[in-house]
């Protein structure tokens, strides 16, 4: 075997040149948000983060409407006097952290193995065309995995590995170059669909998104509807995603599909009225910078498992 020497007992040992070869340790900026409301979960998230091996980490925690306190000295902090929302809070953290890759990490997540981030980084290292690698999310108490965590229509056994058309934002490794080229998260969304927006923009720029279910992270399987603003921002941001990214002929198709699906799924009339109000706000207000994707991108998304009309 090249780079080894044979010994009488047949056990290979590294040659001096192999021993001196430096082992690459990717630099990863860890971007976290916290509002002071989950101290136990945050301690667990940080403890499992501190145990990671094979990578150089720079950790920044943004206090989103909370003054950071009581944190380890290896965690750098940013205080935002007001809650600016999840996507903009992540943008703030991303600007502060150092590293070629950025790991966006929810404060109630945990890393069950010491090589989680290293394995994700190796996948990014293996192909310069990949912008995002998403691990598989598993509830640590055995509750069923929400469909929204798996970037597949078929979510059995955690879904198959490979190229994806979207990703779950809670714990994901992103190449900084790609993130900045796409313009980061849409900060004005506040909550909901920011991952779809960023995914579509990355794919349109020629980048790839990978789902790697062999790498597992822990996250409580909670319902998105627990948030008071969910139905409003869900509807508004769905319209904004379409207005910002889709070719004009696909905008009404996409919105019609999701309107029909919402009516079928949601039976609470108060929630439906809230959803309708958000939808109208999305129609009437600016969605921000419009950069419609090419029809070639539409085809790429369809081949990756999610044509941009569903």
**How is the chain split into domains, by residue range?**
27-222, 225-292
Q: What confidence tens digit (pLDDT) does each residue in 140-184 have?
A: 999 999 999 999 988 999 999 999 999 999 999 999 999 999 999
pLDDT band at 12 (very low <50, low <70, confident <90, very high): very low
Give the torsion through C-alpha atoms of 128, 177, 86, 196, to 10 deg: -50
Taking residues 235-259, what's their average pLDDT?
97
| pTM to 2 decimal places | 0.91
So what's the pLDDT on residue 4?
Answer: 33
Q: Are 74 and 113 in contact (CB under 8 A)?
A: no
Lowest mean pLDDT among 2-6, 271-275, 302-306: 2-6
Strand partners, 215: none
So what's the pLDDT on residue 310?
Answer: 81
pLDDT band at 1 (very low <50, low <70, confident <90, very high): very low
**How many whole angstroms from its chain centre is CA 192?**
12
State whether the Cα torsion 208-213-217-223 is positive or negative. positive
Lowest mean pLDDT among 30-34, 98-102, 166-170, 227-231: 227-231
So what's the pLDDT on residue 11?
Answer: 41
Q: What confidence tens digit (pLDDT) does each residue in 74-101 have?
A: 999 999 999 999 999 999 999 999 999 9
What is the second-level CATH architecture of the domain 27-222? Alpha-Beta Complex (3.90)
Q: Is 229 exposed, middle or buried (0-12, 13-18, 19+ CB in 10 A)?
A: middle
């Amino acid at each position: 075997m090249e780079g080894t020497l044979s010994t009488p007992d047949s056990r290979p040992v590294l040659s001096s040149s192999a021993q001196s070869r430096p082992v690459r340790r990717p630099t990863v900026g860890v971007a976290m948000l916290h509002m002071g409301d989950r101290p136990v979960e945050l301690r667990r998230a940080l403890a499992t983060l501190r145990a990671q091996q094979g990578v150089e980490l720079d950790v920044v925690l943004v206090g989103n409407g909370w003054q950071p306190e009581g944190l380890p000295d290896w965690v750098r902090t940013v205080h935002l006097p007001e809650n600016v929302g999840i996507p903009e809070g992540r943008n703030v953290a991303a600007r502060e952290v150092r590293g070629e890759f950025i790991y966006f990490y929810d404060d109630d997540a945990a890393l069950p193995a010491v090589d989680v981030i290293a394995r994700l980084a190796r996948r990014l290292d293996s192909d310069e065309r990949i912008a995002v690698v998403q691990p598989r999310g598993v509830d640590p108490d055995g509750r069923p995995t929400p469909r929204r965590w798996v970037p597949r229509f078929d979510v059995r056994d955690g879904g198959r590995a490979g190229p994806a058309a979207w990703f779950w934002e809670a714990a994901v490794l992103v190449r900084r170059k790609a993130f900045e080229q796409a313009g980061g998260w849409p900060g004005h969304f506040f909550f909901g669909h920011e991952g779809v927006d960023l995914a579509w923009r990355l794919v349109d720029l020629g980048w790839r998104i990978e789902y790697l279910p062999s790498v597992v992270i822990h996250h409580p399987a909670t319902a998105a509807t627990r948030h008071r603003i969910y139905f409003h921002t869900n509807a508004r941001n769905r319209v904004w995603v379409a207005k910002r990214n889709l070719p004009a002929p696909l905008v009404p198709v996409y919105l019609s599909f999701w309107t029909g699906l919402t009516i079928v799924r949601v039976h609470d009339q108060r929630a439906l009225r809230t959803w309708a109000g958000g939808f109208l706000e999305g129609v009437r207000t600016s969605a921000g910078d419009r950069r419609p994707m090419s029809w070639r991108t539409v085809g790429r998304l369809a081949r990756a498992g999610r044509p941009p009309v569903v």
